[in-house]
Amino acid sequence: MALPDYIEDLEKWQSEFSHSYPVTVRFSETDAFGHLNNTVSFVYFEQGRINFFKDIGFGEEWFAKGGEGIPVTADLHCDYKRQVFFDENLEVHVKVAGIGNSSIDLHYLITNEAGKVCMTGRGRMVQVSRTSGKPLSWSKAALEKLEASQAIAG
Amino acid sequence: MALPDYIEDLEKWQSEFSHSYPVTVRFSETDAFGHLNNTVSFVYFEQGRINFFKDIGFGEEWFAKGGEGIPVTADLHCDYKRQVFFDENLEVHVKVAGIGNSSIDLHYLITNEAGKVCMTGRGRMVQVSRTSGKPLSWSKAALEKLEASQAIAG
Amino acid sequence: MALPDYIEDLEKWQSEFSHSYPVTVRFSETDAFGHLNNTVSFVYFEQGRINFFKDIGFGEEWFAKGGEGIPVTADLHCDYKRQVFFDENLEVHVKVAGIGNSSIDLHYLITNEAGKVCMTGRGRMVQVSRTSGKPLSWSKAALEKLEASQAIAG
Amino acid sequence: MALPDYIEDLEKWQSEFSHSYPVTVRFSETDAFGHLNNTVSFVYFEQGRINFFKDIGFGEEWFAKGGEGIPVTADLHCDYKRQVFFDENLEVHVKVAGIGNSSIDLHYLITNEAGKVCMTGRGRMVQVSRTSGKPLSWSKAALEKLEASQAIAG
C-alpha cells in the first residue's frame, strides 16, 4: 500500500491513535455502485472530530452559544484504501498531529471490524473568532487540552 | 394507481401546478438498490418549496436575516409511484393547496422527462415568529402573494 | 397536540412500541436555522426500519445478495412535534401497525432524552420480487416474524 | 492566500479549466454555523466530475450497465478558501491534471457569482474492472478523450 505523504510509518502512525468512535454504515449512505459513497467519509470524519473535541473538553467552548471561537475547516483529505459496504461497523480514530497558534492538524483513520484500514485522512482546523472572523489564538487552557490528548496517545 | 387522500382527481390535480423547478439525480443520492434513495425526495421537496417561495416573493421575508417570521415544517408526506435512477432529469412542481391563518398546505409533484408521475406529496408549513417561537399570522401582503400563486394556476 | 390520523390514542400508541434504536444528531444534519433539517427524519426512519428488520430476522432475506424479495417504500409520512438540535441523543421506535399480503404499515416515533415526542410517522413498505418487480406475498415464515414482533409489543 | 501543493501559479491554474457546471446551495446543505457544511464540497466535486465525464464521452463507458470499467475514488482533497451560504450560485470547474495507465488526477475549482475562489481541490480516480476489481488500463479511445479534454483547455 502506497502511503500518503502525511504517514511515514503506517504501524507507528496507527499506534498513536487513542480516541475512536463507532459508526455503522447507513443504507442511505451507500450508492448505486453498492458501496459507501465517497462523500460520506467526510461526514464520518466530522462526526469523529466532534466526538474527539467533546472528549478532550472543547465541546463547551466551541459548541455552546456563548463561546468566542468556532472551528473552521481549512482543508480535508481522504485516502480510500478498502471498499466499505452497507451495515459495516466501523471505528473512526482521531488524533492531533500538529498544533499551530490558532490551528490544529487532525489525522483520521477508519477501520473495519477486522481492524483493517478502510480510509485514512487528515485536515487542518482553524479556530476563528465568532465576531471578527479572524483566526483566534489558542488559550493556555485549550493548548493544554490539545497537548494532553497527544500525551495520552504516546 | 390508487390515489392518496390529498388527490381527488389526478388529472385535475396535476393541471393546477404552475410552478416547477428542474433537478437532476446525483450519484450520491442513489443507494445500493441502484435507484434514488427514498429520503432524497424530501430534499427535492424542500428545494422546490424554497424556489417556489422565492418565485412568489417570500424569499426576502423568510430568508433574509432581518425577517420576523420563519417557515417551520409541520408535516410531510411522500407517495412513491415510480422508481427514479441516477442522472434522470426531474421536475419538482409545487402549489399552494390550502391557506390557514399562519400556515399553508403545499402539494408536490415530481415528474420525469417523459412527464410521468414519479412521486406526489404534501406538507403543511407554519410561519413562526423568530423571537417568540409562536405561530405568526400572515400579513395582508403575504396572503395576497399566496392567493396570487393559486390564481395563476387556475 | 393535534393527533395525526394514524394515532387514535397517543399514550396507547406509544406503549405499543417495543423496538427502539439510538441515534445522535450529527452536525452535518443540522441546517442554517440551527436545528435538525426536516429531511433527516426520514434518514432516521430508514435506519430504525432496517435495524427493526434485522431484529425480527428479515435481514438475511432482504439484504443478502441471494434473497428473492426486496423492500420498496410505498409512502412515508412525518409529523414534526418538537425541534431537535445538534448532539441530541434520540431514540427511533419502530412497530408493525398493519400487515397486508405483501406489504406492512410501519409506525415510527422519535423521542428525546427526556422521553418527549419529537417526531411521529408512518409508512407502507411493499415486498417486491427482485426479478419480476411485482409485489411478492409474504412467506409463512415472514408472516410469523411480523406477527411475533407485534405480540412482543402487546 | 497560501497555495496548496497542487497549485503552482493560481492564475495559470485557473485559466486551464474549460469545463464547468452550475450548482446552487440547497438549504439542507447548510449547517448550524449558517454556511455550507464542509462535507458537501465533495458532493459538488462528484457532481462536477460526473458531468465532466459525460461531456468528454465517458458516460456510456462508465455508467451504462454493460461497461467493463468503473471509476473508483483513490483520494480526495479540498481546500476551503471562502465561506459559502444558502442559495449562492456556484460554478464547479473540473480538469484533467495528469493521466496514468489506469488513473487520472482531476483538479477542482469552485467559484461564486463574483468569480471568487471558494474551494479548490484534487483527487485521483482509478478505472477498475467490474469483474476482477483490478485496475484496468485506459483504452486508446479513452486516452484520446482524456487528452482532448486537456487540449481544449490549453
pLDDT per position as a tens digit, D101-127: 999 999 999 999 999 999 999 999 999
**Hey, is C127 helix, strand or coil?**
strand
Residue C30, min C-alpha distance to chain D (Å): 5
Q: Which long-range contacts (CB under 8 A, 24 or more apart) does C150-154 make?
A: C150/C95, C150/C96, C152/C18, C153/C16, C153/C17, C153/C18, C153/C19, C153/C95, C154/C16
Among all residues of chain A, which has the CA nearest to that of B35?
A: A32
- Taking an 8 Å cut-off on Cβ atoms, the answer to whether A32 and B37 are in contact is no
* Summary mean pLDDT of chain C: 91
Please determine, for the modelled complex, whether the ipTM score is greater than 0.90: yes
Nearest C-alpha of chain C: how many angstroms from A45?
A: 11
pLDDT of residue C96: 97
Distance between CA atoms of B47 and A148, rounded to whole angstroms?
45
Residues of D in contact with B43 (CB under 8 A): 26, 28
Cell of A32: 448505486
Q: Give the strand pairing for C89-99 and C19-24.
A: antiparallel
Distances D137 to A81, D70, D124 between C-alpha atoms, Å: 19, 12, 15
Cell (9 digits) for D78: 479540498
Q: Which of B39, B73, B80 is nearest residue C75 as measured by Cβ atoms? A: B80
The one-letter code for the residue type at A50 is: I
Please say if the pLDDT value at position A93 is more than 50: yes
Minimal C-alpha gap between C152 and chain B (Å) = 29
CA-closest candidate to residue A46, choices D80, B40, D92: D80
Cβ pair D80:A70 closer than 8 A = no
Residue B141 pLDDT > 60: yes
Angle made by CA atoms D94, A124, D41, in degrees to the nearest 5: 30
Is D27 within 8 Å of C31 when comparing Cβ atoms? yes
A40, A46, B136, C76 from D39: Cα distances, Å:
8, 8, 34, 27
Signed CA dihedral, C124, C129, C133, C134: sign only: negative
C-to-D residue pairs, Cβ atoms closer than 8 angstroms: 28
**At residue A80, does pLDDT exceed 60?**
yes
pLDDT at C154 over 50: no
Whole-model pTM: value is: 0.94
CB of C127 within 8 A of CB of C102? yes
Sign, CA torsion D141/D146/D148/D149:
positive
Q: How far is D86 from chain C (nearest CA, A)?
A: 8
Q: Identify all chain D residues contacting C86, using CB atoms and an 8 Å cutoff.
A: 32
Are C31 and D30 inside 8 Å of each other by CB? yes
Nearest neighbour of B28 by CB, restricted to A37, A85, A86: A37
Amino acid, single-letter form, for residue A95: K
At residue A118, φ and ψ (nearest 5 deg) are: -100, -50
Cα dihedral C65, C67, C68, C73 in deg (nearest 10) = -80
Alpha-carbon distances of C68 from B31, C54, C99, rounded to whole Å: 18, 17, 19
In chain A, which residues touch B (CB < 8 A)?
Answer: 27-28, 30-32, 34-35, 37, 39, 85-86
Mark yes or no for CB contact D31/C31 under 8 Å.
yes
Residue with cell 460526473: D50
Q: Which of B4, B43, B76 faces C78 most closely, judged by CB atoms?
A: B76
Q: Which helix (H) or strand (E) holds B77?
A: strand B69-80
Q: Name the residue of chain C whose CA is nearest to D34's CA.
A: C32
Q: Long-range contacts: D2-8, Cβ < 8 Å, 24+?
A: D4/A75, D4/D77, D4/D79, D4/D120, D6/D77, D6/D97, D6/D107, D6/D122, D7/D120
**Residue reference for cell 411475533:** C148
Q: What is the arrangement of strands in the sheet containing D19-24, beginning at the earlier edge strand?
A: A19-24, A89-99, A103-111, A117-129, A69-80, D69-80, D117-129, D103-111, D89-99, D19-24
Q: What is the pLDDT of residue D70?
A: 85
How many B/D residue pairs have CB atoms within 8 Å?
Answer: 25
Percent of chain B with pLDDT strictly greater than 90: 78
Mean pLDDT, rounded, for B103-124: 98
Statement: residue A140 has pLDDT above 60: yes
What per-residue confidence (pLDDT) applies to B154? 43
Q: Which residue of A has its CA nearest to D133?
A: A83
Distance separating alpha carbons of residues C52 and C76, to the nearest angstrom:
16
